[in-house]
């Protein structure tokens, strides 16, 4: 498997600068919020979203260096992503993420919610200071989409009647919107044509969907140590993802177990066995591959460069996490 970090070699120096800047951008507020931010940005993570922004920025600015606004966009993207994770962990009652304690498990729910709000507010302020209305609209839409996705997920818990289309819409709101809109925003800042910015948007959308589907498969196939959070946590909490929805088409009794919310002893283990004995995981892998390959088609017309090649390999990397 190709490590994500090796894909990012064309923007390695940019990402080091980003890591330093993130702590400084958030580090001037309340001491507790600073401690929470230090914990968040020090917890590792692959920085895939800002890396994509920086790779697109460089791939669309081959004849000159990227601007400070491109760099700030990458920082804003990571701040929005991190804010959403803080809130997600409170909603999901997750104790661990990336094998470190979550903010709310260290500082309590109140501080975690406020830290997430603070990061959203900070990102909005820096976004406004980019002085580009189209970029402001794109990233503001993301913040609305994140909330919409979380609400949709909450309302559809243990609802075995949801469709794959509904699942993909929710996955777009929760994961792909940020990648799609920040990819497009990078193109806007590079002043490429509207046609190119639309292709960049669809690249991000398909990569984001592939990434989420792969995550949802790994929730069934990886150990808690690998995931950095408990395995099968989505199914346990009633969040029905692609492998489950595909399995439901073959395994009618799975619906019974889901509808009674795994209330009886052995229900969850039985549900996991039914999913394992179906084509659910394989069909989910095929769906992820479809979106990864679609992403690559949308950047085929970018001029050849190391950064474009890294964006193409990103699709392979997303799928390689399964094997």
Domain ranges of the chain: 4-321
Q: What is each CA distance from 81 to 67, 75, 174, in whole angstroms?
A: 22, 10, 10
- Residue 4 burial by Cβ neighbours in a 10 Å radius (0-12, 13-18, 19+): middle
Q: Please, are residues 288 and 318 in contact by the beta-carbon 8 Å criterion? A: yes
Is residue 120's pLDDT more than 70? yes
pLDDT (0 to 100) of residue 216:
96
Which string of b and e fits 208-240 if b means at least 16 CB within 10 Å? bbbbbbbbbbebbebeeeebbbebbebbebbbb
21-28 long-range contacts, CB within 8 A, separation 24+: 21/71, 21/75, 22/75, 22/78, 22/79, 25/75, 25/79, 25/122, 25/126, 26/79, 26/118, 26/119, 26/122
Backbone angles phi, psi at 101, to 5 degrees: -60, 145
Angle, vertex CA 314, rays to CA 312 and CA 315, nearest 5: 75
Q: How confident is the model at residue 1 (pLDDT cuts 50, 70, 90)?
A: very low
pLDDT top residue among 24 and 143? 143
C-alpha count within 13 angstroms, C-beta hemisphere, residue 307: 19
Token match 């929805």: residue? 245
Q: What's this model's pTM, rounded to 2 decimal places?
A: 0.93
For the chain, report the end-to-end CA distance as a whole number of angstroms.
7
Is residue 48's pLDDT more than 60? yes
Q: Please state the three-class secondary structure of 37-49 as a single string.
A: HHHHHCCCCCCHH
Of 5-9, 59-63, 129-133, 154-158, which range is least confident?
5-9
Is residue 284's pLDDT more than 70? yes
Summarize the confidence of residues 48-70 as an average pLDDT: 97
Of 56-60, 85-89, 95-99, which range is least confident?
95-99
Summarize the confidence of residues 88-116 as an average pLDDT: 81
Q: Please, are residues 254 and 276 in contact by the beta-carbon 8 Å criterion? A: no
Is residue 125's pLDDT more than 90? yes
Phi/psi region, residue 93 (left: phi>0; alpha: psi -120 to 50; beta: rest), is: left
Q: What is each CA distance from 208 to 202, 211, 221, in whole angstroms?
A: 10, 5, 20
As a whole number of angstroms, the distance between CA 211 and CA 209 comes to: 5
Q: Tell me the average pLDDT of the chain.
A: 91
Of 27-36, 56-65, 180-189, which range is least confident?
27-36
Q: How confident is the model at residue 206 (pLDDT cuts 50, 70, 90)?
A: very high
As a whole number of angstroms, the distance between CA 274 and CA 42 comes to: 39
Q: Which CATH number fits domain 4-321: 1.10.3720.10, 1.10.357.10, 2.60.40.10, 1.10.600.10?
A: 1.10.600.10
> Could you report the per-residue pLDDT of 132-158, keeping only the tens digit for each?
999 999 999 999 999 999 999 999 999
Is residue 39's pLDDT more than 70? no
> Could you report the per-residue pLDDT of 212-236, keeping only the tens digit for each?
999 999 999 986 556 555 678 899 9
Q: How confident is the model at residue 259 (pLDDT cuts 50, 70, 90)?
A: very high
Q: How many residues does the chain have?
A: 323
Question: How is 156-221 classified by DSSP, letter by letter?
Answer: TTT-TT--HHHHHHHHIIIIIHHHHHHHHHHHHHTT--HHHHHHHHHHHHHHHHHHHHHHHHHHHH
> Could you report the per-residue pLDDT of 291-322, keeping only the tens digit for each?
999 999 999 999 999 999 999 999 999 999 99
Q: What is each CA distance from 290 to 98, 117, 219, 284, 316, in whole angstroms?
A: 27, 35, 20, 10, 12
CA nearest neighbour of 75 among 93, 88, 99, 57: 57
């Amino acid at each position: 498997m190709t490590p994500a970090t090796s894909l990012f070699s064309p923007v390695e120096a940019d990402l080091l600068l980003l890591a330093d800047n993130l702590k400084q951008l958030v580090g001037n507020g309340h001491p507790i919020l600073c401690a929470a931010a230090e914990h968040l940005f020090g917890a590792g993570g692959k920085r895939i979203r800002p890396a994509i922004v920086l790779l697109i920025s460089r791939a669309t600015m081959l004849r000159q260096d990227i601007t400070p606004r491109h760099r700030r966009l990458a920082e804003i993207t990571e701040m929005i992503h991190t804010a959403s994770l803080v809130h997600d962990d409170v909603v999901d009652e997750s104790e661990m993420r990336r094998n470190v304690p979550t903010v709310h498990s260290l500082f309590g729910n109140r501080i975690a919610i406020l830290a997430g709000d603070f990061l959203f507010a900070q990102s909005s302020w820096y976004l406004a200071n980019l002085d580009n209305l189209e970029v402001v609209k794109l990233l503001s839409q993301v913040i609305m989409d994140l909330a919409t996705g979380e609400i949709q997920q909450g309302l559809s818990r243990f609802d075995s009647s949801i469709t794959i289309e509904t699942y993909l819409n929710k996955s777009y709101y929760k994961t792909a919107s940020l990648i799609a809109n920040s990819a497009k925003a990078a193109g806007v800042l590079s002043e490429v044509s509207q046609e190119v910015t639309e292709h960049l948007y669809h690249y991000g959308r398909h990569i984001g969907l592939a990434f989420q589907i792969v995550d949802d498969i790994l929730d069934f196939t990886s150990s808690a140590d690998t995931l950095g959070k408990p395995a099968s946590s989505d199914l346990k909490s009633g969040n029905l993802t692609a492998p489950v929805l595909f399995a439901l088409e073959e395994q009618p009794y799975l619906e019974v177990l889901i509808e009674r919310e795994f209330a009886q002893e052995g229900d969850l283990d039985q549900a996991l066995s039914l999913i394992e004995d179906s084509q659910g995981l394989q069909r989910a892998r095929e769906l992820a591959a479809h979106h990864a390959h679609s992403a690559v088609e949308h950047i085929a017309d970018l001029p050849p460069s190391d950064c474009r090649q890294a964006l193409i390999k990103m699709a392979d990397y997303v799928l390689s996490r399964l094997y």
